[in-house]
Structure 1
């Protein structure tokens, strides 16, 4: 069994590796070792996540995709989630989330009773779908509240926008200037491709 841990944070300011110790302890508790870690700072609502795509490319049938929670894996709209889920299923990956006990059976080397295994698998699949839907709903609600807060702040003349990380901005400009592509720049600057594109567009204005 090859366990691939996926860790994600939404912004460059957040620590994508925050949950690594928890994932490693979980694997240890199941007498397993995490063989590969994929870590990135990117929105769960984006399909453009280089490390997740690399994980899918590396994966083999029977591997475990270990995450802290389903929302670390996806906050995608339903169409994009179904495509991602289909890609995961086509690779034969087993999703295991720390906060989803029904998924923990995926850490077992043997299936045991076939009927029980199939029942638990069906229940787990349903719960994964439900949690993915909840994660998306939470994302949409937070975005809506954020937009409302910004409009309120603008009306009061208090909105200043998000502060610019000058060091990151300079690093991205240097990498792009050196001829690196968007994904390579994001990887070397330790930020999302969305951030690279935003900085590139601001620079070209």
Structure 2
């Protein structure tokens, strides 16, 4: 059994070091060692998270996916959450979240005993509930943000985020040159949504 820590931040500016320290302390308290840590800066509302799926592909049955909070794993809509859960189920990976105390026993429970099966069923229900809450929180924040932008536009205060024209021109050159999205993200710090927008712009201008 391997423990694999997953750290997600929505932006490059967010610091995951505190969460990493908390996960390491949790594992140490239980005599466990984190075999690998996977870090990425992507939205929890998107399934386009290469590091999460690299973690899952590295897992063997019974491995632990360790996270700080359930919303680090999912702010997904219902359909995408079901797809992710199905992937986790097929690989027989245990999810342990620091903010889900009932999951803590999964870190040391034997995979084939009755207690483990009961914990798995209970955690599945609680994970669904917390994932739904995380999604609602995401949608509420997006709605409030949109309302704020609308009000600012009505009052003539909204200017929007200025485009980084130099960086975007360089990204489009990389795309034209056939570089992979992962290498462009690593080199520029741009999000995959930015790459998608620029790729669409190139197609429209072609």
TM-score range, shorter chain: 0.7 to 0.9
The residue aligned with 2:57 is 57
> Structure 1 residues 93, 146: closer, same or farther in 2, change over 3 A?
same
Q: What is the CA distance between 1:7 and its match in structure 2?
A: 0.8
The residue aligned with 1:97 is 97
Counterpart Cα distance in 2 of 1:166 and 1:128: 42
> Structure 1 residues 62, 98: closer, same or farther in 2, change over 3 A?
same
SS in structure 1 opposite 2:96? strand
The residue aligned with 2:192 is 193
Query: How many residues in Structure 1 have an aligned counterpart in Structure 2?
Result: 204
The residue aligned with 1:160 is 159
5+ long unaligned stretches in structure 1: none
Aligned 1:72-87 pairs, distance under 5 A: 72-87=72-87
Q: What is the CA distance between 1:163 and its match in structure 2?
A: 4.5
Counterpart Cα distance in 1 of 2:17 and 2:176: 29
Normalising by structure 2, what TM-score?
0.87
CA RMSD of aligned residues (A): 2.4
Counterpart Cα distance in 2 of 1:203 and 1:17: 37
> Structure 1 residues 81, 152: closer, same or farther in 2, change over 3 A?
same
Counterpart Cα distance in 2 of 1:198 and 1:17: 30
Q: Which has the higher contact order (CA 8 A, sep 6+)?
A: 1
Which deviates more, 16-25 or 125-134?
16-25
Q: What is the CA distance between 1:170 and its match in structure 2?
A: 6.5
SS in structure 2 opposite 1:19? helix
> Structure 1 residues 2, 116: closer, same or farther in 2, change over 3 A?
closer
The residue aligned with 2:117 is 118
Q: What is the CA distance between 1:167 and its match in structure 2?
A: 7.8
Which deviates more, 119-128 or 91-100?
119-128
Normalising by structure 1, what TM-score?
0.88
